[in-house]
Amino acid sequence: MMYAYQYLRATVIISALLLPGTSSLAAAAITDSPGIRMLEEIQTVITDLAEQAKPSVVNLFPISAAGRPRESGADRTPSASGSGSGLIVDNEGHIVTNNHVIGDALEVEVRLSDKTKLIAQVVGKDPDTDLALLKVTVDRALPFAHFGDSSTVRVGQWVLAVGNPFGLDRTVTLGVVSGIGRENINLSRYENFIQTDASINPGNSGGPLFNLRGEVIGINTAIINFAQGIGFAIPSNMTKQIIQQLIARGKVVRGWLGVGIQPLTPELAKKFGVAEGEGVLVNEVFEKDPAAEAGIKPGDIILTIDGSVVDSPNKLSRLIGVLPPGAAPKIEVVRDFTRQVLTVPLSERRDTAVVASLPQSRTEVKLGLDLQDLSAGLAEKFKLRETRGVLITKVDPGSLAHAEGLREGDLIKEVNRADVATVGEFTSAIAKVRRGDTVLIRVLRESRAFYVVLKSTE
């Protein structure tokens, strides 16, 4: 706070003394004031940092099938490749960048700060975090950067972004951390971005975000096209984990839990006896996978993994994804309003975790469902692996069921945590619900399951 006060005080004094009519004697006096000296010290820190940081930053040009580097100043999304930035991370010539910078290229032209041009081979890529690792072979020591601990990053701290926007080599921009833990940006599967207002432009992708100690706390990955001063960086701790696996294996191997999950709406939270936003809801447990073997069940609320709070499906996927196969995290769940801790040995991740997200409940209207017992023919028609259940054959437009995302072909498996296998069982379960109460329904749609809360009617 004292620094901020002195900085502002010095700025005000300078502005006042340099107004029109200010004497040259007064202007000369201010140049040797404590405020000016402090500003110069801060400026020196930043300029020294810039000089220290720039040599480890490289310009990258993926080599096309025709053997020519692709150069582009156009804006890019994570699915498109083009020129970008990279960071030398060790004395063996490894360079980290974004996966979307190199695309499908197997070789990349690397331009160093001394204008040297080298050809890098792609060591490995991880599209799930939008990171890639390259390697150049050179007979001299290359300048490389050191990673800091991104878990200590705080909103408001100063940062320096270095990159090659629009082909302008090693451009340096100064800003602050605007936010941490940003997710649901839809840039990659595992999102935990650092948000910064340090100017990031096309060509900055893959470049570093430094703290004032000269440590890399993030790898710049994206901007929001329609906004100014909003850029995102992949945290250094995540980057280090990916680099270690790519060097060791050439690919990233992640743990697999084997559940379908969805966020908790206020209505679902109330039904399952937890606070809003506390944990995520397990809507499906895959047979013979780790969660099933450890005793996790549909309807469990996962609260923590090895003590880390789980407050979103993204967070759960990320916490499991950083663990290797064979790890056995302790998972705290709520089941029937009771907390318990299960130890779950993880297997290797296959495709994707199943995440279902439906709109929140709306106003009271009729359920608006036509139902039928599941037959073999209907199961085949709607790509269902089940042999029993209550099939939705029609959803009335404008009904609550329609508003909540239910549709023809959905298979109802539970009503208020009780299994239902026939229309008769469904009717009996609904008959026990009083008018105005909510109804918790578990639905299977093709290969995914989810829960939804409906308001009962007469």
139 is an active site residue: no
Measured between alpha carbons, how far is 238 from 223 in angstroms, rounded to an integer?
19
**Is 203 marked within a binding site?**
yes
| 191-205: b (≥16 Cβ within 10 Å) or e | bbbbbbbbbbbbbbb
Catalytic residue among 205, 236, 317, 361: 205
Catalytic residue among 81, 83, 85, 100: 100
Instruction: Supply φ then ψ for residue 246, to 5 degrees.
Output: -65, -35
The structure tokens listed for 312 are: 């979103």
Q: Decide: helix, strand or coil at residue 328.
A: coil
Complete DSSP assignment for 403-420? HTT--TT-EEEEETTEE-
Residue showing tokens 């109802």: 412
- For β-strands 146-147 and 215-223, DSSP reports them as parallel
**Is 188 marked within a binding site?**
no
**Is 186 marked within a binding site?**
no
**Is 130 marked within a binding site?**
yes
What is the largest distance, in Å, between two alpha-carbon atoms of the chain? Answer: 96
The structure tokens listed for 67 are: 């053997």
Q: Decide: helix, strand or coil at residue 454.
A: strand
Q: What is the 3-state secondary structure (H, E, C) of 166-177?
A: HHCCCEEEEEEE
Catalytic residue among 130, 197, 289, 300: 130
Measured between alpha carbons, how far is 195 from 286 in angstroms, rounded to an integer?
36
24 is an active site residue: no
100 is an active site residue: yes
**Is 204 marked within a binding site?**
yes
Binding-site residues, in ranges, read: 100, 130, 203-205
Binding-site residues for substrate, in ranges, read: 100, 130, 203-205
Task: Enumerate the active-site residues.
Answer: 100, 130, 205
